[in-house]
Structures are given as C-alpha cells and as structure tokens.
A and B are shown apart, each in its own frame.
Chain A
Amino acid sequence: GAGVSQSPSNKVTEKGKDVELRCDPISGHTALYWYRQRLGQGLEFLIYFQGNSAPDKSGLPSDRFSAERTGESVSTLTIQRTQQEDSAVYLCASSPMGQGTDTQYFGPGTRLTVL
C-alpha cells in the first residue's frame, strides 16, 4: 500500500513569512508524529497525535509552531513568522497504534529553507 507522503518536498521562503507543511499518513494508522532534522543533527520530536486525544505538543520549540490533524487523516504543520533557524528537514511519521513498541513509518520529508 501507499506509504507516508509529505508535501511540498522542498520549500524556500523568506524570513518572516508563514509556511504550511502537509503530511498524509498511512491509512488506518491512528498515531502521527512530526520530527525536525537540522543539518548535521539527529531528529528531534515536535508533536504527536493519537486518535481523538489531545496532541502532545511538548516538543514544539516556540509558539510560532502549531499543528492540526483532521481525525485520523491529514496533518498540517504551520510555522509562523519563519526564522533562519527554522531551516531543516521536517519529517512526518505514522504508526498503527501509537504504542511504544510500534514501528514508525516515515515520509520523505519537507526540506525548508528560510532565507
């Protein structure tokens, strides 16, 4: 079946502009995660959605970052008033049940460049 998809694959924006990144998880997966990978660094957790529960926003670096998910479907990550330090690859992952034992399936990522 189809894997996790993300769009756009690349986004170049000017400092101060807002951007919206999209993730389509694997159908039937109840859990969805957003991670950020800055150049030369590991992945850092941003936010987690599980079914209809309140999202875990503990990884969001500032109030400029927000995310929504429609039911158990598409998610959008919004970054307002982008800064140069927001430049990174943003990865989305989904998993069947959101359990710690689950394999997370990753999308190809969106490379964000803030000029």
Chain B
Amino acid sequence: AQSVTQLDSQVPVFEEAPVELRCNYSSSVSVYLFWYVQYPNQGLQLLLKYLSGSTLVKGINGFEAEFNKSQTSFHLRKPSVHISDTAEYFCAVTKGNAGNMLTFGGGTRLMVKP
C-alpha cells in the first residue's frame, strides 16, 4: 500500500514571497504523482502531475514541482505567490498500473497575506 505525507498543515506567507509545500510518499511499487488545489468553496482541480521523464514538472498558475526518487518527495514550489493562491493543496499518488484511485495526503492550507 502507498501513503502520502504533507508535512505542513498550514503555511502562512506574505504576498510575492516564494513558497514550498512539502510532500513525501511511500510505496512498494512505482507511482504517479499529482498536486491538486481546492480554492475556497470550489472543487479540486489539477495543478500538475508527474508521470515520467523530466523530474521538474510545470503546472498552472506558475507552480512547479520536482520529483526526487531517492528522497521519495514531490515538493511544490512557486517563486512569488499572490493573494489568489490562498487555497488548500493536496498531494496525491496513484499506483503505476491500470485503473487506480488517488491516495491523498492530509492537505496543506496556504495562506497568503498582504
């Protein structure tokens, strides 16, 4: 079975500062990695995903994440955040074979302050 740990439940940051949201996973099989965002009163939407190839993945809204196999991590970064980035961010994995559900971390609430 796989599991996902998001080390920070809340991350406060000032507008225009850089941010990193941490995600570690454990799995006995290959996995695919995802970051989803949930804006207030909205559904989840995909930010980015890592399937294979380049370990640096770029997503929407200026976010990027780096897959590190040796550290089993998939941290999310943005060089300069905006107030509108305030949301809950979820790291998730699926197993590296067909037809599987997402296993989610507990989520990180990013709070961007003016």
The answer, yes or no, to whether A107 is at the interface (CB within 8 Å) is yes
In this complex, the interface size class of chain A, counting residues with CB under 8 Å from chain B, is 20 to 34
**Given A98-B99, A100-B94, CB of A43 within 8 Å of CB of B104:** yes
B61 to chain A, nearest CB (A): 16
A77 to chain B, nearest CB (A): 15
The answer, yes or no, to whether B17 is at the interface (CB within 8 Å) is no
* List of A residues within 8 angstroms of B42 by Cβ: 108
The answer to whether A101 touches B101, judged by C-beta atoms less than 8 angstroms apart, is no
Contact with A along B35-54 (1 / 0, CB 8 A): 01000001111100101000
* Total B residues in contact with A, Cβ cutoff 8 Å: 29
Residue from A42, A99, A103, A109 within 8 A of B99 (CB atoms)? A99
* List of B residues within 8 angstroms of A93 by Cβ: 44, 102
The number of A-B residue pairs with CB atoms under 8 Å apart is 68
The answer to whether B99 touches A43, judged by C-beta atoms less than 8 angstroms apart, is no
The answer to whether A108 touches B43, judged by C-beta atoms less than 8 angstroms apart, is yes
The answer to whether B99 touches A31, judged by C-beta atoms less than 8 angstroms apart, is yes
The answer to whether B101 touches A91, judged by C-beta atoms less than 8 angstroms apart, is no
The answer to whether A109 touches B43, judged by C-beta atoms less than 8 angstroms apart, is yes
Enumerate 6 A-B pairs (CB-CB under 8 Å) in ascending A order: A42-B4, A42-B106, A100-B95, A101-B94, A103-B46, A104-B102
Q: Which residues of A contact B (CB under 8 A)?
A: 3-4, 31, 33, 35, 41-45, 48, 50, 56, 59, 91, 93, 98-101, 103-104, 106-109
Closest 3 CB pairs of A and B: A100-B94, A98-B99, A45-B101
